[in-house]
Amino acid sequence: MIAPGARAFTLGRPPAGPVVLVSPVGDASGSRAAAAALACAGSEPDRAGLLIDLSAPRAPRPSLIATSGARELEERLGDHMREADVASRGATCHLSLVADESSIEQIASALPLVRDSVAVIHLPPSLLQPALAETQIQVTGTLLVSELARDRALTALAVRDLLERDLRVAVLKRPLNWLTARRALLGALSEETNALPSRLVERLVRRGSHEAR
């Protein structure tokens, strides 16, 4: 449930930072950790990236260590979305929503609170099109996690559709290893230790790379 006034907060206040959708193709694994790693890559000590997760198995718990930016973002989200499950985790902040179309409006309400940081939205394939269709979610890029040996044709169709929308698109061909995935979900990946390909990060979340696709 959105607190009274939260929806009004979004009007006229689109997010200024990158907004990246992350979704698996078919039954590919590792998309949640990849989304968390992207949020880490776009975070700074005083400006936390937000991971909005529409497929989390449970509500996020705050980590023992979190940056000031992550705690401030957690507080802003908690003030405006009082029933939401939100937690600061390392250099990032996690917001967990249910995996259905009712969450699309909540995403739109949360994004202005991120201000000029990166917002990474992890969602199942069935919600990719509804999220793209919501005009208040001004998506800048999409990361698809795919097992190309099995889903190459389906991945190519998805990439073509996204490029036609003038979005930056990247495909992750293999999941992060177990330890890196755990650190990503804790918000504990630094720029030096982030295992995502550097060109992928530059394309999707780095400032000044909006023209790359």
What is the CATH architecture of 6-189+197-204? Answer: 3-Layer(aba) Sandwich (3.40)
- Which neighbouring-strand residues pair with 141? 20, 168
What's residue 190's pLDDT? 78
CB count in 10 Å sphere of residue 57: 7
Under 8 Å CB-to-CB from 106, ≥6 apart: which residues?
2, 81, 84, 97
Q: Detail the DSSP E strand segments found in the chain.
A: 19-24, 49-53, 85-89, 92-96, 119-122, 141-145, 168-172
By DSSP bridging, strand 49-53 and strand 92-96 are: parallel
Model confidence pLDDT, tens digit, residues 133-178: 999 999 999 999 999 999 999 999 999 999 999 999 999 999 999 9
Burial class (CB in 10 A: 0-12, 13-18, 19+), 209: middle
What's residue 115's pLDDT? 83
Q: What is the pTM of this model?
A: 0.88
**71 alpha-carbon distance from chain centroid:** 18
Sheet order of strands, 19-24 included: 85-89, 92-96, 49-53, 119-122, 19-24, 141-145, 168-172
What's residue 209's pLDDT? 42
What's residue 169's pLDDT? 97
Residues of the chain with pLDDT under 50: 1-12, 208-213
Cα separation, 46 vs 36, whole angstroms: 18
